Amino acid sequence: MDSNTQTLDTPSPSRRGLLLAAAAGSAAVGSVLPLAFPASAAPAPAPPAGAEAGAGPVSPQEALRRLADGNRRWRTYGQEHPHESAFLRLRLTKGQHPFAIVLGCVDSRVPPELVFDQGLGDLLTVRSAGEVLDEAVLGSVAFGVLELQIPLVLVLGHQSCGAVGAAVRADETGEPLPAHIQYLADGIRPSIDRTQQGEARIDATIDAHARRTRDLLAAEPDLARRIADGRLAVVAARYGLRDQTVRTLA
């Protein structure tokens, strides 16, 4: 697995221009806040006051810690299924303050609220096959960051991603996919790791595409300003279907 992180050139003013520039293989400038899930499986200390559902954390680091704690509960079969009470449901009718955005795949085996053991009001989830970005996905993420002041965006790739596999196979054979699926493959193609072969190529591309998607988001001007002043982190991660563990990608 490649340990290097690459970011993209300063984007054009429009989101469409950002996507087109990245697809052309632009070079790297800029940075992403380096966060990682704690190495220890031990539970973290109790969350600070205000960290209950609907309050939102005070920092990107706190948001990532809460996701790490939830994934630990999930993979060790200690799920709490939090924030489902009648009181909480009523309180959320007055507004929402999720603490993280998870941009993930549509795969039915990777529902973010379960993988991170979160409840109502905790996560803003955006899902597209292979985490492919388009205007609707970008707008959804921007809404969470700019309107809801969410401090963390986690791009979650996963083991055995069918969308990535289809894109790699189509690239290798040259055979077109059905119209709308071809759109997804076109979005994944710039991430294909051609240094690998067979299943290793698909596996490496899953990670490369999560990183590329992270970098595209981090280079979006409105988000980049928040990253620069510490209000936002954009992180890439991978979920393992076999061990149910989420690991961040450098």
Written as tens digits, the pLDDT of the chain (250 aa) is 444 333 223 333 344 443 333 333 332 333 344 466 655 445 544 444 344 555 655 799 999 999 999 999 999 999 999 999 999 999 999 999 999 999 999 999 999 999 999 999 999 999 999 999 999 999 999 999 999 999 999 999 999 999 999 999 999 999 999 989 999 999 999 999 999 999 999 999 999 999 999 999 999 999 999 999 999 999 999 999 999 999 999 9
Res 1: pLDDT: 42
Pairing of strands 246-249, 233-239: antiparallel
Distance CA 117, CA 78 (A): 9
Res 37: pLDDT: 64
User: Cβ(26)–Cβ(9) under 8 Å?
Assistant: yes
Res 8: pLDDT: 25
- Taking the model in full, what pTM does it have? 0.81
Distance linking the first and last C-alpha atoms of the chain: 10
**What element of type H or E holds 112?**
helix 112-115
Res 175: pLDDT: 94
- Helix, coil or strand: residue 131: helix
Q: For residue 156, what are the CA distances in angstroms to 27, 46, 103, 211?
A: 23, 26, 6, 10
Distance CA 225, CA 228 (A): 5
Res 22: pLDDT: 36
